[in-house]
Structure 1
Amino acid sequence: MGLFDEIKKKLSHEFIDIVEWLDNTNDTIVHRFERYQNEIKNNAKLIVREGQTAVFINEGQLADVFTPGTYDLTTQNLPILATLKGWKYGFDSPFKAEVYFVNTRLFTDEKWGTKNPFMLSDERFGLVEIRAFGTYSFRINDPGKFVVDVVGTDGNFTNYEVNEHLKSLIVTRFTDTVGEANLPIELYAANTTELSETCQEVMQPEFGRVGIELEKFYIENVSMPEELKKEIFEYSRLDKLDMTKLAQFKAAKAMEAAAKNEGGTAGAGMGMGMGFVLAQQMGGMMNPQAQQQVFGAPQQVATPPPMPTQVMYHYASNGQQMGPVSIDKLKELFASRTVNKDSLVWKQGMQNWTALKDVEELKSFLGGSTPPPLPTA
């Protein structure tokens, strides 16, 4: 064997490449296999490990995609690339192609959050500002589409790069979903599981368009201003409380405080006495049987007549019906010229709207009435 044959044999062995990627990072999604001028030798070995997919790109066009396994790169294993290259009789010389290894494992615990508060409309509290944050997990389920549509020619594409795109998508779809849910504001924090599942269903088609599967989506917290939290808390308490007992309790506290403010032993004693009596009365209302055991049969207490009902008036202003208001309020409106003597008013019992000047009890608004003379001594 001549010297030329030895060199040719040695070079032929060097031409057999191994195309593989050993991932030593935790954040790389796509790695481009670098070769001089992207040349791959005939019968090169392609090794695709578990959790990887190899994508071949020819002159910017998607060619063959390989799942985990070991392959000899021949025209039989590269049908799409062979068609694109126009090989009719196989190939013996190096060929050019870009090889991208795509990490298909599950990327977990990715963070998302609203950078700025967004507005929601609530029937009871009006426009409110809320924020939200949480986590999500994803995997690449269509490596070819992902490389073509997202990665492009990036030689080392990390999850940080894709997360910037995904976070914007998540926040946009999250705010749309929350706005369309039209829930009472206090229920958002209490229904994060259901809301998370709904958001995942809404977002999945958007992720799928670029070859990504949204595996999980979690809302960890929905926050709002402290003032709104206190208002919601007070509202929920009032909704559950017996308002009659609450009013009695507050009246007892107010009377006790008033007695203390009078000063002196008498004032303190009065306060303690009132507090003790009111406490007994409230305890009796909550436990009538105990009251009967301690004090005997309840005594008949005279019930005062009902408070007289206040007459309320409706009035016309700028062609619109306003009110009802009390006669004192109507007098203030007359003094501020919101209504005048010709303004129409109406109260329960009147058949028709009548000018203010023609209603007997309202004529005092007009002034000009002369009092009778003082009696002589």
Structure 2
Amino acid sequence: MGLFSKEFSNVVEWQEYRDDVMFYKWNNDEIKKGSRLILRRGQDAIFFYNGKIEGIFKDEGSFDIESQIIPFLSTLKGFKFGFNSGVRVEVLFVNTKEFAIKWGTKNAVNIPMPQMNLPGGMPIRAFGTFACKIDDYGILMDKIAGIKQQFMVEDVKDRVIPMLDQLLMKWIASEGKDMFNLQANSFEISQGIKEDLDMEMRKIGIAITAFNISSFSYPEEIQRMQEKVAGQSMVGDVGRYRDVGLADAMSEGKGAGASAASDMVGLQMGMAMGQQMVNQMKEDANAEDVKETAQSPKFCPNCGFKTNGAKFCSNCGQKLV
């Protein structure tokens, strides 16, 4: 059969449009005379033959393949109707939109922490989103589209997730980030991971346009420790760890043990408050003495006798303050 046959014209289109499909390959034994190409919004059509791109069309609409498409194809425009060559033309429909994909570490990533002597490191999980889109049609054809009928968002995710463990370890550990406050550095970590991921995924024609870390998750023991430290910071400066520990014992204990802990907490708090009151009184007295000393003259303005900081002159009785 020729490139076109005179009967049974067909429509070249991607009719089953799904949000999770990145490209779909239309193929047939022949494109018949009178056939039309239909391009919808958000679609590009790539005509290729024997794995080589013949032309890329991006304008949405309905086009007559004989008069509007074939004349612009690099090789096939030389074919004449009725030319018996058995030519088979394929069309790759590309979803041009940007895809947002959720990600999460399958297993905890052990980040080395030599200063804490943790065997294997600190186990951390992370969650977030990344965005991607098809960027280079030539590389896409060479690496993926030549052997696949369609390519799904899940296929991209399957390639990205295995790389995240090493990238998280690289951008957390090697940069010396605060392991207990990673969320504060999440933007910088995300940007580093995005650059590395983008470099890898462009090898198959896909660009990573964004990468975000929504949250980091620590082991339960570490989370409890962080909560306790946060609680201690609210207690005050007097016996912080001791008082919080006693309060924990009081709330978790039962019977006589809980009562004893409660009494001890009350005693400790009373002593601390009393000591703070004494310290405040001393500070007030010292401040008053300094004020009075600063205001009293060294010599009596009436008789010139030395005052020694007194309120009245000991020689003539003159009031000094």
| TM score, norm. by length of structure 2 | 0.66
Read off the aligned partner of 2:21 and give its amino acid letter.
T
Q: Which residue of 2 aligns with 1:122?
A: 113
- Partner Cα separation in structure 2 for residue 150 and residue 139 of structure 1: 14
Read off the aligned partner of 1:185 and give its amino acid letter.
M
- Structure 1 residues 248 and 281, CA gap change in structure 2 (3 angstroms): farther
Q: Give how far 1:42 is off.
A: 4.4
Q: Which residue of 2 aligns with 1:28?
A: 21
- Partner Cα separation in structure 2 for residue 233 and residue 164 of structure 1: 36
- Partner Cα separation in structure 2 for residue 143 and residue 25 of structure 1: 20
Is it true that 1:97 corresponds to 2:89 in the alignment? yes
Is it true that 1:206 corresponds to 2:197 in the alignment? no
Choose which of 10, 27, 36 in structure 2 pairs with 1:17.
Answer: 10
- Structure 1 residues 80 and 178, CA gap change in structure 2 (3 angstroms): farther
Q: Secondary structure of the residue that 1:76 maps to in structure 2? A: helix
- Partner Cα separation in structure 2 for residue 132 and residue 208 of structure 1: 24
Q: Give how far 1:79 is off.
A: 0.9
- Partner Cα separation in structure 1 for residue 240 and residue 40 of structure 2: 73
Q: Deviations over 1:105-151 (max 9, x none)?
A: 1222x121111112112354342111111111211122342233123
Q: Give how far 1:183 is off.
A: 0.7
Is it true that 1:44 corresponds to 2:20 in the alignment? no
Q: Give how far 1:271 is off.
A: 10
Q: Which residue of 1 aligns with 2:136?
A: 142
Q: Secondary structure of the residue that 1:175 maps to in structure 2? A: helix
Q: Which residue of 1 aligns with 2:224?
A: 230
For the aligned residue pairs, the C-alpha RMSD in angstroms reads 3.9
Q: Deviations over 1:75-108 (max 9, x none)?
A: 42111445xxxx4xx3213731121111111222
Q: Deviations over 1:234-288 (max 9, x none)?
A: 5677799986x337975xx89xx9xxx9xxxxxxx99988864552112333x34
Higher relative contact order (CA 8 A, sep 6+): 2
- Structure 1 residues 80 and 284, CA gap change in structure 2 (3 angstroms): farther
Is it true that 1:57 corresponds to 2:48 in the alignment? yes
Identity %: 24
- Structure 1 residues 121 and 237, CA gap change in structure 2 (3 angstroms): farther
- Structure 1 residues 117 and 78, CA gap change in structure 2 (3 angstroms): same
Q: Deviations over 1:7-55 (max 9, x none)?
A: xxxx73x3543311123422222212242x2x11346322222211112
Q: Secondary structure of the residue that 1:79 maps to in structure 2? A: coil
Q: Which residue of 2 aligns with 1:173?
A: 167
Read off the aligned partner of 1:246 and give its amino acid letter.
G
Q: Give how far 1:227 is off.
A: 1.4
Q: How many residues get paired?
A: 260
- Partner Cα separation in structure 2 for residue 112 and residue 26 of structure 1: 17
8 Å Cα contact 2:51-2:141 kept in structure 1:
no
- Partner Cα separation in structure 2 for residue 238 and residue 275 of structure 1: 14
Q: Deviations over 1:335-365 (max 9, x none)?
A: xxxxxxxxxxxxxxxxxxxxxxxxxxxxxxx
- Partner Cα separation in structure 1 for residue 49 and residue 186 of structure 2: 46
8 Å Cα contact 1:132-1:222 kept in structure 2:
yes
Q: Secondary structure of the residue that 2:154 maps to in structure 1? A: helix
8 Å Cα contact 2:23-2:150 kept in structure 1:
yes
- Partner Cα separation in structure 1 for residue 264 and residue 158 of structure 2: 70
8 Å Cα contact 2:46-2:54 kept in structure 1:
yes
- Partner Cα separation in structure 2 for residue 18 and residue 217 of structure 1: 39
| TM score, norm. by length of structure 1 | 0.57
Choose which of 102, 105, 115 in structure 2 pairs with 1:111.
Answer: 102
- Structure 1 residues 124 and 169, CA gap change in structure 2 (3 angstroms): closer
- Partner Cα separation in structure 1 for residue 265 and residue 98 of structure 2: 70
Q: Which residue of 1 aligns with 2:73?
A: 78
Structure 2 residues without counterparts, runs of 5 or longer = 251-255, 257-262, 290-321
